[in-house]
Amino acid sequence: MAKQAGSSTTPEGLVVRVRDLHVYFFTDLGVSRALNGVSLDIPAGKVTGVVGESGCGKSVTALSIMRLVPHPGRITKGEILLYREREKQNGHSIVEEVNLTDLDPQGPVIRSIRGAELAMIFQEPMTSLNPSYTIGDQIMEAILLHQQCTRKEAEERAVDILARAGMPNPQTVVRRYPHELSGGMRQRAMIAMALSCTPSVLFADEPTTALDVTTEAQILDLMRELQAAMGMAIVFITHNLGVVAQMCDTVAVMYLGRVVEQAPVEPLFYDPQHPYTRALLRSIPHVGSRTKARLQPIRGVVPDPYATIEGCPFHPRCDYRKPGLCDVRVPATTQVGENHTVRCFLYTEQGEDNG
C-alpha cells in the first residue's frame, strides 16, 4: 500500500495527486455522477483554488480526498495519491506514497492521516463546531488524538494555536462554547483546530461565504499569513474569482465533475484556454476595466448530474463546439503551457479513450 518514492522531495513537488477520479451517488432517484474523471495536482506549500458553478463537484472532490464521501456516494474509479514525508532514523526524510483509494474509509490508516496530514474547514462556522463542547475541548481532542502529550500540554498548544489564528483572549476562549462566539471567531477557531496538528494540506470549502465582507477579508488575510508561516498547501474552494486572484497560486476550474483547466493564477486570468473558463471570466466584473462591455452570463444552464451527456460535458453550451467530435468523445487532458493543462478539443485531437 505504501511505497517509497526514494527521493527527498515529493515527486514534482506535489502533496496530492488525483487521477481520473469517479464518484457516483447511488440514490433512490438514480445514479448521480458527481465526479466523472477528476484529475488534479495539489502542489505542496501552495494555495490551489478550485472554482466552478454550484454542483460541479468541488466539495465532493475535497471530501473524496479526505475519504469522507457521504453515503450513498462511492468512489467507483480512479486513484488518489498522498505523498507524505517520513523522518528516518538517520535524519534523512523519505517520501512515502500512500494510495488513499485503497484504504478502508473508517480504518486506522486513513484516520491517522485525517486531522494530522489532511485537515478541512467548512462553509458554515455556525454549525461546524459541536455546540456541546468547549472550543478548547474540541481543539485538544485533535491534538490528543494525533500527538503524544498530556492534557495540560494539549491545552497549552490549543491556546497557542488559537493565538496564532488571531483569536483575542485565547486563554478564556478555550473555555467558551461555540454559541458564545461570533461567526468570524468561530471560523478562526475552526482554522485553529484544523491547523493544530500542522497538516500538509488544508481543504477550505468556501470558508468565508457565510461571513460579512470585513470579516471575510480578515479571515483571508489570516489564512494567507498562516500558510506562509506554516508552509502547508491549501485547497481553496470558492465561487468568488476575486478571492481566487487574491489568494491562490494555481487554479483548477471544474465543470460537471471534471477539471477542465488547471493553471497558475496569471495565465488562467490573462490567457484562459478553455471556453468554459473564458465564459466564466466574462461573467464577472473586472475592477478597472475600461470597456463598457456588459457582463455576459454563460449561455444555458448546468445540466443535472443524473443525466448523462455524450462527449464533452460543456458542448451544449459551448460557442466553439465541433459537431461530430465534441458531442461524441471526451477530450483528453492536454498540456498547453508550464503547469497549464486543459481538456478541450481546441487543443488536441485526442479523446480520453485513446489518450
Ligand X SMILES: Nc1ncnc2c1ncn2[C@@H]1O[C@H](COP(=O)(O)OP(=O)(O)OP(=O)(O)O)[C@@H](O)[C@H]1O
β-partners of residue 341 are 262, 335
CB of 67 to other proteins, least distance (A): 9
Please report which residue ranges of 210-343 form alpha helices under DSSP H: 213-230, 241-247, 265-270, 275-282
Tell me the number of residues near ligand X by CB under 6 A.
15
Which of 4-12, 52-60, 92-100, 178-186 is the region at the interface with ligand X (rule: CB under 6 A)?
Answer: 52-60
Among the candidate windows 18-26, 131-139, 221-229, 345-353, which touches other proteins by CB under 8 A? 131-139
Q: What are residue 259's DSSP bridge partners?
A: 254
Q: What is the DSSP letter of 315?
A: G
Q: Rounded distance, CA 322 to CA 27, Å?
A: 34
Identify which of residues 146 and 321 has a Cβ nearer to other proteins in the complex.
146
Q: Report the 10 Å Cβ neighbour count for 353.
A: 8
Q: Is 106 in the site for other proteins (CB under 8 A)?
A: yes
Span from 3-11, 53-61, 74-82, 320-328 in contact with ligand X (CB under 6 A) = 53-61
Residue placing its CB nearer to other proteins in the complex, 68 or 245: 68
Nearest distance from residue 300's CB to ligand X, in Å? 16
59 makes contact with Mg ion (CB under 5 A): yes
Q: Which three cell numbers stand for residue 308?
A: 448523462
SS3 percent helix, strand, coil of the chain, rounded to 5, is 30, 25, 45
Query: Per residue in 224-259, is it b (16+ CB within 10 Å) or e — as a string?
Result: eebbeeeebbbbbbbebbebbeebbbbbbbbbbbbb
By CB under 8 A, the residues from 180 to 199 that bind other proteins are 190, 193-194
Which position has the grid cell 458554515? 124
- Among residues 45, 86, 85, the alpha carbon closest in space to that of 226 is found at 45
58 binds ligand X, rule: CB under 6 A? yes
- Residue nearer to ligand X on the CB measure, 25 or 236: 25
Which H or E element spans position 38?
A: strand 30-43
- The reply to whether 59 sits near ligand X by the rule CB under 6 A is yes
Residues 30-49 touching ligand X, rule: CB under 6 A, are 32, 34
Interface residue list for other proteins (CB under 8 A): 66, 68, 106, 111-116, 119-120, 122, 124, 127-132, 134, 141-142, 145-146, 177, 179, 190, 193-194
Interface residue list for Mg ion (CB under 5 A): 59
Interface residue list for ligand X (CB under 6 A): 25, 27, 32, 34, 52, 54-60, 70, 73, 305
